[in-house]
Structure 1
């Protein structure tokens, strides 16, 4: 099992600034990814970026105002999103 497939690791908080998406994880890690990887977040307002919810029991994040979903696995692997976001059922 790779570190990105550990079923016990979950997202506990999300921060988005003008440059980075940062997630805090249940195992104590903090992971930051360039916001340029996620075009819909990059073009969003601070208010839209701040309106998120955890999905899939912390295995992903959903931004309802943007219809954007990102998976923890994709964030950990540094995978840029497709222009409409990656879907993850919650």
Structure 2
């Protein structure tokens, strides 16, 4: 079985649940990735998670309160955010 990945896919909406980041695409697909893929959204409050804007005509979403960007491309190609390394005290 092969999966067709359209690099021009666009988000119509996105929501963050307790476990997932879920995007509805303009072609009708609904895709999701684990919330743990975004350490910033994982640590965000529900209010911060709900405050987003679609960017680039729907190629991604931006959460200004936590400075997070997630793209359709990243969701489809499995690209989780890498948390910063903790500095030794």
The aligned residue for residue 3 of structure 1 is: 5
Could you tell me how far 1:4 is from its partner in structure 2?
3.8
TM-score by length of 1: 0.83
**How much is the aligned-residue C-alpha RMSD, in angstroms?**
1.3
- The TM-score normalised by the length of structure 2 is 0.84
1:3-27: CA deviations, max 9, x gaps?
141x2x2100111011000000001
Which consecutive residues of structure 2, in runs of 5 or more, have no partner in the other structure?
85-89
Match of 1:52 in 2: 52
Larger Rg belongs to: 2
Cross-structure match for 2:67:
67
Given that residues 22 and 33 in structure 1 are in contact (C-alpha distance below 8 angstroms), is that contact kept between their aligned partners in structure 2? Answer: yes
**Equivalent residues, number:** 81
Structure 1 runs (4+) deviating above 6 angstroms are none
Q: C-alpha deviations, 1:35-87, integer Å up to 9, x for none?
A: 01110000100000000000011001000001111111001112101337xxx
